């Protein structure tokens, strides 16, 4: 019976920024979903996820949730507040739709605002089943541009946000048989660069900015400016003896 079915909300990973790196499953959800919601850091401007939907499906309406990207727990509280407000407003549409979608850059489960959407759905007690369509993470898009062999044999990979305790980063840099990927860059980029050099790991280290867009830049650590945007990715490669 139609009245028995549960409404579904999909967290849809759109990949690192290039519309070509959207999956077939994500396309299928975008084509079918009755509602598409996208985050944006400014109310007036289209976020990258919305832009990708717009490029692939120009006629689809996208509901924009403005999320201020302020840092710290205050920033998270403010973002959750904005998401709850939108979810509350959309409640009738979300619960009557068979399928709705929240789109996000990269993967919905890797440092994504989708976690706030899920939290809001739980807080507002919406009778909605949450599903996830995984996406290509930004670090693999950067790796595809700068290397032909990121991780092999018994090597390890560590993915860390630059916003965390620098002690962890310093510690992980000592593991020379590992790739270190750094996300969420911010004002501390100059310090990170110094730490990587200090650990003797700067060889082959790369920074990717605005991946998948026309403004994309892929730079060595030394070429990069002292200030880089939040949505930048660093890859510190394994130091291989034979390489």
Sign, CA dihedral 157-47-96-81, equals: positive
Identify the H or E element spanning 157: strand 156-161
Q: How many residues bind its own copies (CB under 8 A)?
A: 57
- Say whether residue 50 binds its own copies (CB under 8 A): no
108 binds its own copies per the rule CB under 8 A: yes
- Cβ proximity to its own copies: between 78 and 158 the closer is 158
CA distances from 61 to 30, 35, 86 (A): 11, 8, 16
Q: How far is CA 32 from CA 50, 97, 113, in A?
A: 16, 11, 22
State the nearest-atom distance from the C-beta of 128 to its own copies, in Å: 12
Of positions 67, 105, 143, 173, contacts its own copies by CB under 8 A: 143
- Helix axis angle for 114-123 and 72-96, nearest 10°, is 60
**Per-residue contact flags (x/-) with its own copies for residues 78 to 107, judged by CB under 8 A:** -----------------------------x
**Interface with its own copies in residues 53-82 (CB under 8 A):** 76
Under the criterion CB under 8 A, does residue 226 sit at the interface with its own copies? no
* 132 forms part of the interface with its own copies (CB under 8 A): yes
- Indicate the residue among 20 and 43 with the shorter CB distance to its own copies: 20
Q: Which residues pair with 10 in a beta bridge?
A: 101, 131
160 binds its own copies (CB under 8 A): yes
Strand arrangement, sheet containing 7-13: 63-66, 35-40, 99-104, 7-13, 128-133
Which residue, among 131, 147, 126, 127, has the nearest Cα to 205 in the 3D structure? 147
The CB-of-149 to its own copies minimum distance in angstroms stands at 4
Query: Taking the complex as a whole, how short is the minimal distance between the CB of residue 77 and its own copies, in angstroms?
Result: 12
C-alpha 27/C-alpha 174 separation (Å) is 41
CA 198 – CA 77 distance, rounded (Å): 36
* Interface with its own copies (CB under 8 A), residue from 87, 118, 196, 232: 118
Interacting residues with its own copies (CB under 8 A): 11, 13, 15-16, 18-25, 27-28, 76, 107-111, 114-115, 118, 130-137, 140-141, 143-145, 147-161, 163-165, 168, 172, 175
């Amino acid at each position: 019976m139609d009245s028995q079915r549960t409404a579904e909300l999909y967290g849809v990973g759109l990949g690192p920024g290039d519309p070509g790196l959207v999956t077939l499953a994500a396309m299928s959800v975008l084509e079918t979903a009755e509602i598409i919601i996208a985050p944006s850091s400014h109310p007036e401007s289209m976020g990258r996820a919305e832009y990708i939907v717009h490029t692939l499906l120009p006629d689809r309406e996208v509901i924009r949730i403005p999320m201020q990207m302020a840092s710290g727990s205050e920033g998270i509280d403010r973002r959750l507040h904005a998401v709850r407000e939108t979810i509350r407003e959309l409640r009738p549409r979300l619960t009557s739709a068979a399928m709705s979608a929240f789109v996000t850059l990269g993967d919905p489960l890797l440092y994504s605002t989708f976690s706030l959407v899920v939290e809001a759905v739980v807080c507002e007690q919406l009778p909605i089943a949450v599903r996830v369509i995984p996406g290509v993470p930004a670090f693999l898009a950067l790796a595809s541009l700068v290397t032909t062999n990121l991780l092999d044999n018994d090597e390890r990979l560590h993915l860390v946000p630059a916003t965390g305790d620098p002690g962890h980063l310093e510690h992980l840099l000592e593991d020379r048989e590992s790739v270190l990927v750094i996300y969420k860059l911010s004002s501390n980029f100059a310090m990170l660069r110094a730490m990587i050099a200090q650990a003797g790991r700067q060889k082959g280290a790369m920074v990717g900015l605005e991946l998948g867009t026309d403004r994309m830049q892929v730079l060595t650590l030394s070429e990069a400016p002292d200030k880089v945007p939040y949505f930048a990715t660093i890859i510190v490669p394994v130091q291989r003896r034979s390489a």
